[in-house]
Amino acid sequence: MYLRRTRDRMPAPTGLTIDRIDHLLLLVVDLEKSVAFYERVVGCTVETRLPRYGMIELRAGESHLDLVDVSAPEGAWARPEILGGRNVDHVALAVASHDARALRAHLAALGVEVGEERLEGDRTSFYVRDPSGNTIELRSAAQKADA
């Protein structure tokens, strides 16, 4: 019997609660053609253009799909070391809590090395690697106005 894990039935084994996938960053070789595909075929909409990074952020429901053109000089920062190498740069998971200090302590207690910590507006992102070397961004919830 397949048991579906929900917040009501089975709590997470740690104090960390993932709310949803925040965004995926895909590496592409033709940004405009890729944007056209995701708009027309998938139904995404352009939310932000970041030309200095060769990047466009698409709205995908409540999440984002970020595209970086690795064939453009501006997208060279995301280019894999091996031609035809990785295609996903990282997976970003939205954490339900805004408490960056608690998240930092949680990662340290588990011996997880934070490769990068970045503050963007009122959210803190921690970049870690899974055992296979995949980059996982743990992105704190936005701080509530009354907090």
Domain at 48, CATH number: 3.10.180.10
Split into its structural domains, the chain has a count of: 1
Which domain covers residue 39, as residue numbers?
A: 18-139
d(CA 107, CA 93): 14
In a domain, 69, yes or no: yes
Comparing CA positions, the residue from 63, 53, 81, 78 lying closest to residue 22 is 63
Q: How many CB atoms lie within 10 A of CB 119?
A: 10
Specify the pTM: 0.63
Average pLDDT over residues 4-10: 48
Assess if residue 27 is contained within a domain.
Answer: yes
Average pLDDT over residues 34-53: 90
Name the band, by pLDDT with cuts 50, 70 and 90, for residue 66.
Answer: very high
Q: Is a pLDDT exceeding 70 seen at residue 9?
A: no
Q: Is residue 9 part of a domain?
A: no
Residue 94: the pLDDT is 84
